[in-house]
Structure 1
Amino acid sequence: MGSYMDENIIGEDDIPTYAASLLVPNVQEMVRKNPLEVPQRYIRTQEDVAKINCILSPEIPTIDLSSLLGGCRDELEKLHEACQDWGFFQVVNHGMPRQVMRAMNEVTAQFFDLPLEEKNKLSMPSDDIQGYGHAYVVSEDQKLDWSDALILIIYPNHFRRLKYWPTSPEHFRETLESYSSEIRRIGDELMGSVALTMGLDKDAMLKLHGDLLQALRVNYYPTCQKPDEVVGVSPHSDTSIITILLQSDETEGLQIQHDGMWIPVKPIPDALVVNVGDVLEIWTNGKYKSIEHRVVTNEKKPRISLASFIAPLDDMEIEPLDHMVDQERPCKMYKKVKYGEYLRHSMNRKMEGKAHTQMAKA
């Protein structure tokens, strides 16, 4: 896998850029200065607010990765049903040491506790999303999300822009390296199992996508005095193959769209939340669903989450696999698109549900 110390094998000019985002206020600092203020640019319309309240509902499926890797057919069927019916599931017994997760949570919390001037040393450049700031802000009149973010490319190693990797707190980089290595292993194991549910060989998906892009988005959601009038992250689906999320064990925030309702993803201690991305939906011709999801805020406690996106590289072409065009779905629902173009199309617009997927519709 290499080390973050070995990153000078290609020049900065050879590392791809992804999308520009307009400069907007830092929400954490805004709350620090005046916790009662919620600027109008963050207040959603009545139509949006009406959708904020979710109802009591069943919990999303839970998958035991140890049983899955042990060849349990029942667990494999549960995975298939989770991808098909929910697009989201929580993973337990995944093998990531508890101390690695705890350490990652601690260093990210310490990073966001730094003075703003320290964090701003890692501010995103004008043409890319690696660094500290906000993504998907494309117009001056756009409603803003109640959150700040640190976004980093982890793999391939030579895509890393190390000048945006925090050096404070002291062990941030080493901790991130350990955590991301575990995420890569878990991602490979999950994709091997998903390949089996799709009727492929276990290593078929790894052969299909070749080398992988793995990006990390660390989200910080400050408290808000009007939590029912703002959104932490706007409704969207992910452009990834799969996304693996480490969320707070204590504070809810993530909600998913299911049967026309917003369902809260209740934290399970030490579990990881996994969701199907657009690429997997395209490969399966819509059989597996990349689900619209969002994040809400609360008045009492800030919340941090870490989303790892596993995706193809830019030059890969994605389209429905031949055997996924069957009697149930006799026509291709998606056309062939180059992944890099699809990704940038999504990132150069505001988050707006699944509107960005129209680019790939047949």
Structure 2
Amino acid sequence: MAEIFDKMKVEFVDQDECVQVVADNIRGTGEVPERYVRSEIMSDPAIDDAKGYNLPVIDMSRLLNPEFSEEETAKLGSACEHWGFFQLVNHGFNGELLQQIKADITEFFNLPLEEKLAVAIPPNGIQGFGHHFVFSKEQKLDWVDLLFLATRPVEERSLAFWPTKPSTFRDTLDRYSLGLANVSAQLFKFMANNLGVNHEALLGTFKGLPQSMRINYYPPCSQADKVLGLSPHTDGVGMTFLLQVNDVEGLQIRKDGKWFPVKAIPGALVVNIGDVLEILTNGKYKSIEHRAVINPVKERITIATFHSVHLGCTIGPLQELLKTDQAHYKVLDSVEFTKGYFAAKLEGRSTDVI
């Protein structure tokens, strides 16, 4: 995604305000600055106690086991078709690695501000520490600080934005990145099986599995009903993996026209379908709108990993799926598609239907 962004010449407004500092300044009696106040939260609240709205759970060990693979692949397809989200368990990650990456990310965000600014996002850049999607000085801002990095292919990394504190950060992130690349490649193959399409036809769009990570720090806010950690949006990629760094919840998905909170299973990866995969499947798999809300007393930290398209590809419904159905989406080249996604300012739906 970072390489595609470099080709697009999309301009952002410089924004060097650290939300963690803003949160510290208003703790107690201070008012939330107007730029962060989101009146739509009260008019579009989440349903907290809704039975039957727990995300499907997919077991990677069953997908890989010939005895159970067919049944679990059907469950995977159903989750992608009806939910667009699922929780992945038994994904093969070493527990020690997950604990280390959680510790490293937490330590980074606990560094003094001046040390985090050593890897700040440059003007009109996308990688580094700071804010994303700030297009105007009047625009409402999300209640989040982030660290965004291009992680794969390895040769496209900009290590100037990779923190050197803590000292284990780079190595840990590299190992986590490789593990997710392997998991995503496996999931794409099982999805192809479920869809009845050629593996290479699906994987070709994600040649080399371009990968980036957005590491999020959501400070607590005593006026949490006034702010949003992440505006409602869909992901303009193929597939996203979310790892909860701490046990504070905040992810919400829109289903049946209402918002529902996601209760993450400890150690699971929350996986969601992105706009690209919805288009490739001609709408069979769904890219679902989601948002992040803020806890009034506790910080929330997450790491979202995006698997995107490669430069030069075209994005449109797979031809094998059009033998029995008409195309519901336009065919776009990857740069045109991603530019449209960014121009939408990360708000709401972003896929184009014919």
Q: TM-score range by the shorter chain?
A: over 0.9
Counterpart amino acid of residue 51 in structure 1: D
Correspondent of 2:43 among 47, 50, 55: 50
Determine if contact 2:4/2:335 at 8 Å carries over to the other structure. no
Which residue does 2:74 correspond to in 1?
77
* Whole-angstrom CA distance in 1 between matches of 2:293 and 2:216: 12
Structure 1, residues 162-187: CA drift from partner, whole Å, max 9, x if none?
A: 10000011111011111111111111
Correspondences of 1:210-221 after superposition (within 5 Å) = 210-221=207-218
Report the secondary structure of 2:240's partner residue: strand
TM-score by length of 1: 0.91
Among all aligned residue pairs of Structure 1 and Structure 2, give the percentage whose two residues are the same amino acid: 41
* Whole-angstrom CA distance in 1 between matches of 2:12 and 2:291: 19
Q: Would you say 1:40 and 2:31 are equivalent positions? A: no
Report the secondary structure of 1:144's partner residue: coil
Which residue does 2:341 correspond to in 1?
346
Q: Would you say 1:178 and 2:175 are equivalent positions? A: yes
Counterpart amino acid of residue 333 in structure 1: H
Report the number of matched residues: 345
TM-score by length of 2: 0.93
Deviation beyond 6 Å, 4+ runs, structure 1: none
Deviates more, 1:257-266 or 1:339-348: 339-348
Deviation at 1:17, TM superposition (A): 5.6
Report the secondary structure of 1:286's partner residue: coil
Determine if contact 2:163/2:170 at 8 Å carries over to the other structure. yes
Deviation at 1:207, TM superposition (A): 3.5
Q: Which residues of structure 1 form unaligned runs of 5+?
A: 1-12
Determine if contact 1:313/1:340 at 8 Å carries over to the other structure. no
Report the secondary structure of 1:309's partner residue: strand
Deviation at 1:24, TM superposition (A): 4.7
Determine if contact 1:249/1:269 at 8 Å carries over to the other structure. no
Determine if contact 1:17/1:128 at 8 Å carries over to the other structure. no
Structure 1, residues 115-146: CA drift from partner, whole Å, max 9, x if none?
A: 11111111111122100111111111111101
Determine if contact 1:15/1:159 at 8 Å carries over to the other structure. no
Counterpart amino acid of residue 65 in structure 1: M
Deviation at 1:48, TM superposition (A): 3.7
* Whole-angstrom CA distance in 2 between matches of 1:349 and 1:196: 33
**Relative to 1, partners in 2 of residues 1:204 and 1:17: Cα closer, same or farther, differing over 3 Å?**
closer
* Whole-angstrom CA distance in 2 between matches of 1:339 and 1:190: 22
Counterpart amino acid of residue 49 in structure 2: L
* Whole-angstrom CA distance in 1 between matches of 2:138 and 2:16: 11
Correspondent of 1:142 among 139, 150, 154: 139
* Whole-angstrom CA distance in 2 between matches of 1:240 and 1:31: 31
Determine if contact 1:52/1:228 at 8 Å carries over to the other structure. no
Aligned-pair RMSD on alpha carbons?
1.9
Deviation at 1:331, TM superposition (A): 2.4
Which residue does 1:107 correspond to in 2?
104
Correspondent of 2:22 among 27, 30, 40: 30
Which residue does 1:21 correspond to in 2?
12
Determine if contact 1:245/1:272 at 8 Å carries over to the other structure. yes
* Whole-angstrom CA distance in 2 between matches of 1:33 and 1:346: 34
* Whole-angstrom CA distance in 1 between matches of 2:338 and 2:121: 18
Deviation at 1:203, TM superposition (A): 4.8
Q: Would you say 1:281 and 2:278 are equivalent positions? A: yes
Determine if contact 1:88/1:291 at 8 Å carries over to the other structure. yes
Which residue does 1:335 correspond to in 2?
330
**Relative to 1, partners in 2 of residues 1:263 and 1:323: Cα closer, same or farther, differing over 3 Å?**
same
